[in-house]
Amino acid sequence: MELILKDEKGDLIYASIEKYTIKYFGDKIYDHGLYQMKYFVIASYQSKFKSNSHKHKLTFT
């Protein structure tokens, strides 16, 4: 699952959730929901088609 997350200041960051994690939580995640998330990896965001200008991305594991 791919996401664009927005904080209270309006800053955006790309994030993804691994397939094996989706099978446990996929039916509990909804558009425009408010969630507290943990267990993620921060990596450099290098892609031809960037959805935002943030230099990092998050991958939830």
pLDDT tens digits along 13-55: 999 888 888 888 878 888 888 888 888 999 998 877 778 788 8
User: How much is the average pLDDT of 52-60?
Assistant: 86
CA angle 25, 28, 29 (to 5 degrees): 90
The model's confidence at residue 12, banded by pLDDT at 50, 70 and 90, is very high
Four-CA torsion 23, 30, 59, 51, nearest 10 degrees: 130
The pLDDT value recorded for residue 51 is: 80
The pLDDT value recorded for residue 53 is: 80
| Cβ 42 vs Cβ 58: under 8 Å | yes
Phi-psi region of 54 (alpha: psi -120 to 50; beta: other; left: phi over 0): beta
Query: With the C-alpha atoms ordered 23, 28, 32, 35, is the resulting torsion angle positive or negative?
Result: negative
Q: Does the pLDDT at position 9 exceed 90? A: yes
* Domain assignment of residue 50, given as a range: 2-60
Number of domains making up the chain: 1
